[in-house]
Amino acid sequence: MSERPLPVHTTVEPFPTEDNCLVIGGQPVTALALRAGQTPFFAYDRGLIDARIRRLRDAMPERLELHYAIKANPMPAVVQFIADRVDGLDIASGRELRVALDTGTDPREVSFAGPGKKDGELQDAIGAGITVTVESATELERVLGIAEAIGRTPHVAVRINPDFELKTSGMKMAGGAKQFGIDAEIAAPVIRRIGEAGASFSGLHIFCGSQNLRAEALVEAQQKTFELVLRLAEDFPGEPDFINLGGGFGIPYFKGDSPLDLAPIGETLQVICDDMVRRFPNTKPVIELGRYIVGEAGVYVCRVIDRKVSRGQVFLVTDGGLHHHLAASGNFGQIIRKNYPLVVANRVFSDELEKQNVVGPLCTPLDLLGDKMDLPRAEPGDLIAVLQSGAYGPTASPAAFLSHPPAVELLC
């Protein structure tokens, strides 16, 4: 590990360095580039994923089940690694369904949410015996019809669109008019219908939003969520298998962001779990997390192809960009573009920094990874690593835009 100070704007947390080179999963990125056979590539550090899940478990009530939302990072090897360490998987498409079942996870611990599920996806889900989380009254009728046609009793949960919002979230997914879930005030007849139709009532799913760094906001949403669950409980056709209280735990991406304080969230969930076990002794309390589990464990590595100066500004033109990592370019839900933390991966520390722009190969000014960043002077051949890149990378990016090859993904 180098003793020299970091460039002021960057951090290599949580990755060590060796000979001034970033190390992921025990291997320098220069070695990983050889393993990948190309740049750009994503590398995910299994040790960091494991440590993150352990820390979560320590901070959360013992009864609380932890689910992984596959959409954050659906690489099969990553999903398998996480599946062996969590209690269930949340999916949102037929393909995620196959990845989830391939892990060997008990189908009853897999739940399928998302608007616009197709008949074929519903049939696969009902046939596999996983929980289908219905997002509308009409979707429930389709589930019942398909289940009858294939002679299965479906396990059905109801996604509720609550009558409140999760404040200060990166993405709000509940409250007001939304395509997600059934509005709380009209959910009772849908919940009753599950019992009347002879289906198995799995529970409720209430997910308010994503990427939240404020514990107070999450605590408030969890309390309101549980109050809503208790109101809706009058219409439960039986004791539910689980109550999914959502998630939304954020990770720090930008200068000035502080990591989420888990302690108050764990305390609130402990109170909720204690209350829940009194009222519904057989119901599992669940939270579902995606980026919090994988986001900080991954990097995106690309190579400098050209270095040019335009009217006094330096541009490092790399082979990586928004086609693999839309979020790092600032075009995936951000309102104001900010730089993800990035480093010159084969020359992390340097006494001499230079203001440089890091751009990609696409023919659009949106293809920007680093805007006027103070970095060690980089040359063609050097590697650039974008940190905080374990979630919403390749599968949340327009890979076909400009027809460049896809990024390779490595689990290290």
Ligand X SMILES: *Cc1c(COP(=O)(O)O)cnc(C)c1O
**Interface with ligand X (CB under 6 A):** 69, 71-72, 90, 113, 207, 210-211, 247, 288-292, 391
Nearer to ligand X, 290 or 393 (CB): 290
Going from the C-alpha of 95 to that of each of 112, 130, 160, 300, the distances in angstroms are 11, 14, 24, 24
- Run of H or E including 24: strand 21-24
Question: Minimum Å distance from CB 71 to ligand X?
Answer: 5
Question: Minimum Å distance from CB 102 to ligand X?
Answer: 20
Q: What is the largest CA-CA distance in the chain?
A: 72
Question: Minimum Å distance from CB 314 to ligand X?
Answer: 34
User: Which among 160, 207, 209 is positioned nearest to 182, based on CA atoms?
Assistant: 160
Q: DSSP state, 5?
A: P
Angle between helices 262-279 and 46-59 (to 10 degrees): 60
Cα–Cα distance for residue pair 120/116, rounded to 1 Å = 11
Q: Which residues of 293-312 are buried (b: 16+ CB within 10 A; e: fewer)?
A: bbbbbbbbbbbbeebeeeee
Nearer to ligand X, 76 or 361 (CB): 76
Question: Minimum Å distance from CB 153 to ligand X?
Answer: 24
Nearer to ligand X, 107 or 209 (CB): 209
Q: What angle do CA 17, 323, 401 make, to 5 degrees?
A: 160
Question: Minimum Å distance from CB 133 to ligand X?
Answer: 8
Contacts (Cβ under 8 Å, ≥6 apart) of 132? 111, 112, 117, 122, 125, 126, 143, 154, 155, 156, 157
User: Which among 51, 113, 124, 79 is positioned nearest to 242, based on CA atoms?
Assistant: 113
Nearer to ligand X, 113 or 144 (CB): 113
Beta strands in 135-219 (DSSP E): 155-161, 171-172, 182-183, 200-205, 209-210
Nearer to ligand X, 142 or 172 (CB): 172
Question: Minimum Å distance from CB 242 to ligand X?
Answer: 14
Nearer to ligand X, 90 or 319 (CB): 90
Question: Minimum Å distance from CB 210 to ligand X?
Answer: 3
Question: Minimum Å distance from CB 296 to ligand X?
Answer: 12
Contacts (Cβ under 8 Å, ≥6 apart) of 51? none
Residue 313: Cβ within 10 Å count: 11
Helices and strands in the chain, H and E counts: 11, 22
Q: Which residue is nearest to ligand X (CB)?
A: 290
Question: How many residues appear in the chain?
Answer: 412
Nearer to ligand X, 303 or 325 (CB): 325
Local structure of 317: helix, strand or coil: strand
Beta strands in 248-323 (DSSP E): 284-289, 298-310, 313-318
Nearer to ligand X, 208 or 343 (CB): 208
Question: Minimum Å distance from CB 116 to ligand X?
Answer: 13
Nearer to ligand X, 60 or 72 (CB): 72
